[in-house]
Amino acid sequence: MKKNLNDWLIQQGINRKTFASSVKSSPSTVTRLLNENGVPDLELALRIEAFTGGWMTCSDWVDTQEGVISG
């Protein structure tokens, strides 16, 4: 089952703007990621992993069939 970062944020009571600020990203980039319309660059993926305490990892963004980062 694919992890859903938006569901995690809702469960944690964190809004998109706060999350964006916490991971040093723009709200529009976070919205794009939460809508699965793209993937973060490696630096942002690492910040997301750190912020979520490892719940969402860098490898969660990798399409295992393609072997590349994809959304």
pLDDT in tens for each of the 71 residues of the chain? 578 999 999 999 999 999 999 999 999 999 999 998 989 999 999 999 999 999 999 999 886 555 455 44
Distance CA 21, CA 30 (A): 10
Stated pTM of the model: 0.85
Q: Count CB-CB contacts under 10 A for residue 1.
A: 3
Stated length of the chain? 71
Query: Residue 59 CA to chain centroid, in angstroms?
Result: 11
Counting Cβ atoms within 10 Å, is residue 33 exposed (0-12), middle (13-18) or buried (19+)? buried
| Whole-number pLDDT of residue 65 | 54
Beta-ladder partners of 69: 62
* Domains of the chain by start residue, with CATH: 5-69 (1.10.260)
| Whole-number pLDDT of residue 49 | 97
